[in-house]
Structure 1
């Protein structure tokens, strides 16, 4: 799930997943963090979910995916669109 908040010329995107699906650490990786695993690790929230918020420039398109333990890559079903492999965010 994606949560969005516009702040002036920025978009705050919060990437949200269930706390235990998939198990183990999960990070969101994309062109906004040079596809670096571990740069944006989802952290537990009080609502039983886990999340991380990333500030992105407005009026851009960003590619991303999730990376879980065991080199398990997966997509966000609620991305704005997909380019075949990656999810796309339109900020």
Structure 2
């Protein structure tokens, strides 16, 4: 798993590229409070090597909770998240990305 941040010089935006290896998965989405946990909003593209990758533009100077949703069933955290926070609704921790 990997998170790459690219801050734009001309706008208060950061292009965040999310990558997760899930060779057996059919689809993976990144969901979080930046897209109101919408499971359809940010589908990642499956690559030939079995990983999934996608880029999301997020406002700088914020932090966001997020997780990966694999095949619409299981939520997975990215081990490279900046930190983690407990979520009572999910009964688990969410990853946090700080921009």
Helix, strand or coil for the counterpart of 1:86? strand
Superposed CA offset, 1:1-59 (max 9, x none): 101101131111000012515x120100001101000211110346x232110000111
TM-score by length of structure 1 reads: 0.88
1:40 corresponds to? 42
Q: 2: distance between equivalents of 1:37 and 1:19?
A: 17
Q: 2: distance between equivalents of 1:72 and 1:44?
A: 17
Which structure has the greater CA radius of gyration? 2
TM-score by length of structure 2 reads: 0.82
Helix, strand or coil for the counterpart of 2:34? helix
Deviation, structure 1 residue 82: 0.3
1:1-91 matches, cutoff 5 A: 1-8=2-9, 9-18=12-21, 20=23, 23-45=25-47, 48=49, 49-84=51-86, 85-91=93-99
RMSD: 1.5
How many residue pairs align between the two structures? Answer: 89
Q: Which runs of 5+ in 2 are unaligned?
A: 87-92
Q: Which runs of 5+ in 1 are unaligned?
A: none
